[in-house]
């Protein structure tokens, strides 16, 4: 059997299948199709600008601590609307220049934007090893230490650069051999001063090894240290990073927490849920520098919201209920893609990335508008499942040697085998007196 990729390159003008094989963002994957980095902020209803306004500008201006990201629409599921992609994209954009360009684009003047650096970190619950808030914090520290796949720069590297920019006068100028040690010394002193200046409850001094690696710019050592750290160290490590960031002048840390439904799953004992929600309050509000610097964005899911709301209310945290007036300014609701133009933009951002140079195909090839309309309808406007279906259509097209993928090909593919091949129902199997829809 011929390789599909050969057909895809020759007839579809693509380096490879441009779409992800699953509708699930793969954490840490270097595959751009799978890791959400091809997110297009111009697609669909205004989720991205709403997110900037409520998750970035709002917390800076009002100091709000908790924000919620929902995906609700006409579809039947709360998945696949792009919550994870949006947060990853937002974090990446913010960390690229510590929020400068985002703030400038949102009514901050240059002086104010420069004086308000922000960092954003992502962490995600799972049902395996990240089942506590401390474990999520460790994930977030690891995220901040991870270089961006494209720029090769991590948020912590940018924070260190900011130290160097700010500390120019304090650094020795002459002897370059001593430069590294001198810089490290200056950074450590400033971090320690910042730590000692914190009032109220803290988690103690910054993690010594983390600070050493950061101060000397030993990123390999830092990554190794974080890799070996245990979930229980998460709070202290994140606290250390926040103290470092604060010492470098960072004003706000946006902490994104994904997959809250895993934390709220029936497998998590109620006692642990209650305890973890209490910790949310203790850490996020009552511990420094979390209290001053952090703002949390949680992706919400109906079952998760129901499961944690009782404890959430008992801990006097803001209402999760997306319908309440008081929740409006802290809640972003992602909706399904409604029109085919937006669906086309979504497809173009993937196809464009993998389009072979010098090919003369149009930007949607091998798809056409009619095919994309069917895909949109078939997957109820949910971006993740639409992209997943596109992946399978490309593979099927290569197998079947479809020169294009139009409406007919899509319909043929999505029609369940059972419906296509099943014999007509026998008279005996008709349902006497059956009511429609039930």
Partner 1 sequence: MSTDTIPKLNRIEYLFDTLGAVEDGLSFDEIRKELIASQPESQGRKKAEKIDSLMTNTRDALRESMKLGLINKAPLPTLKKHLEAHRNRKFELTPEGVKFLKLASDVWEFRDRFAQAMLLAHPHFRSLVSVLSSGELYFPRIQRADVPGELGAWRGGLPEPLGKVSSWLTDEVQKATGEELSADRIESNLRPYLNAAWKKIDWDEKPNVVNKKIVKTFNDVSIRAILTERNLKFDCVTFRSAVALLSDLGALSNTHTVPGRRGWTVWKTSTVEIPQFVNNQSPAAQALEGKVWFNRLMRPEEEICDLLVEEFLSSSDRKGGFVLIHVLRAKVCHRLGIHSRDFDSTLRKMHDGSLVHAEYAINLDRGSSNEVPPSEQPFAIKGRAFYLMTLLNRKLMERN
Q: How far is the CB of 119 from partner 1 (least distance, A)?
A: 27
Closest separation between CB of residue 426 and partner 1, Å?
8
Identify residues 288-307 at the interface with partner 1 (CB under 8 A): 300-306
Sketch the per residue contact string, 328 through 347, with partner 1: x for CB under 8 A, - otherwise: x----x-x------------
Tokens of 296: 């949390």
Q: Minimum distance between the CB of residue 268 and partner 1, rounded to whole angstroms?
A: 13
Q: What residues from 417 to 436 belong to the interface with partner 1 (CB under 8 A)? A: 426-435
Window contacting partner 1 (CB under 8 A); options: 274-282, 317-325, 368-376, 402-410 = 317-325
Minimum Å gap between C-beta 329 and partner 1 is 12
- CB-based contact 333:82 (threshold 8 Å): no
Total residues at interface with partner 1 (CB under 8 A): 42
CB closer to partner 1 out of 305 and 371: 305
Q: Is residue 320 at the binding interface for partner 1, with CB under 8 A as the rule?
A: yes
Answer for which of 77, 112, 165, 408 binds partner 1 (CB under 8 A) is 77
Least separation in angstroms between residue 49's CB and partner 1 is: 9
Closest distance of CB 199 from partner 1, Å: 35
Burial class (CB in 10 A: 0-12, 13-18, 19+), 149: middle
- Told to check if 410 binds partner 1 by CB under 8 A, we report no
Q: Which of 73, 89, 76 is nearest to 36 (CA)?
A: 89
274 lies in the binding site for partner 1 (CB under 8 A) = no
Name the segment binding partner 1 (CB under 8 A); options: 58-66, 321-329, 369-377, 379-387: 321-329
Of the candidates 320, 290, 288, which has an alpha carbon nearest to the alpha carbon of residue 302? 320
Nearer to partner 1, 165 or 310 (CB): 310
**Shortest distance, position 263 Cβ to partner 1, whole Å:** 13
Per-residue binding letters, 21-60, with partner 1 (x by CB under 8 A): ------------------------xxx--x----------
Residues that bind partner 1 (CB under 8 A): 45-47, 50, 72-74, 76-78, 261, 266, 300-306, 308-310, 320-324, 328, 333, 335, 426-435, 437-438
């Amino acid at each position: 059997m011929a390789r599909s990729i050969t057909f895809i390159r020759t007839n579809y003008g693509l380096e490879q299948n441009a779409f992800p094989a699953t509708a699930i963002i793969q954490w840490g994957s270097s595959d751009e199709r799978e890791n959400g980095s091809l997110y297009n902020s111009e697609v669909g209803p205004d989720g991205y600008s709403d997110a900037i306004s409520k998750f970035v500008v709002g917390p800076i201006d009002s100091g709000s601590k908790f924000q919620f990201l929902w995906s609700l629409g006409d579809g039947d599921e709360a998945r696949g609307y792009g919550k994870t992609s949006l947060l990853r994209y937002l974090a990446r954009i913010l960390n690229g220049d510590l929020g400068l360009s985002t703030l400038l684009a949102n009514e901050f003047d240059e002086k104010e934007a420069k004086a308000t650096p922000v960092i954003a970190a992502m962490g995600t619950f799972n049902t395996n090893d990240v089942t506590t808030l401390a474990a999520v914090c460790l994930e977030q520290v690891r995220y901040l230490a991870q270089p961006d796949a494209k720029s090769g720069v991590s948020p912590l590297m940018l924070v260190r650069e900011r130290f160097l920019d700010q500390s120019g006068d304090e650094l020795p100028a002459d002897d370059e051999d001593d430069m590294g040690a001198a810089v490290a010394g200056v950074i450590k002193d400033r971090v320690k001063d910042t730590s000692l200046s914190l009032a109220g409850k803290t988690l103690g001094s910054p993690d010594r090894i983390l600070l050493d690696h950061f101060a000397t710019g030993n990123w390999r050592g830092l990554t190794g240290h974080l890799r070996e750290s245990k979930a229980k160290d998460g709070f202290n490590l994140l606290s250390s990073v926040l103290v470092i960031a604060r010492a470098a002048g960072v004003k706000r840390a946006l902490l994104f927490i994904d997959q809250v439904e895993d934390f709220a799953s029936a497998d998590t004992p109620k006692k642990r849920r209650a305890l973890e929600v209490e910790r949310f309050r203790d850490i996020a509000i009552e511990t420094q520098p979390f209290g001053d610097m952090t703002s949390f964005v949680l992706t919400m899911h109906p079952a998760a919201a129901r499961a944690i709301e009782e404890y959430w209310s008992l801990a006097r945290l803001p209402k999760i209920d997306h319908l309440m007036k008081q929740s409006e300014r802290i809640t972003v609701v992602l909706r399904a893609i409604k029109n085919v133009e937006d669906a086309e933009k979504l497809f173009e951002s993937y196809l464009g990335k993998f389009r072979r140079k010098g090919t003369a195909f149009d930007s949607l090839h091998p798809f056409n508008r009619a095919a994309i309309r069917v895909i949109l309808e078939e997957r109820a406007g949910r971006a993740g499942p639409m992209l997943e279906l596109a992946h399978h259509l490309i593979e099927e097209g290569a197998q079947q040697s479809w020169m294009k993928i139009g409406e007919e090909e899509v319909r043929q593919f999505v029609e369940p085998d059972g419906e296509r091949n099943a014999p007509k129902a026998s008279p005996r199997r008709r349902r006497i007196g059956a009511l429609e829809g039930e």
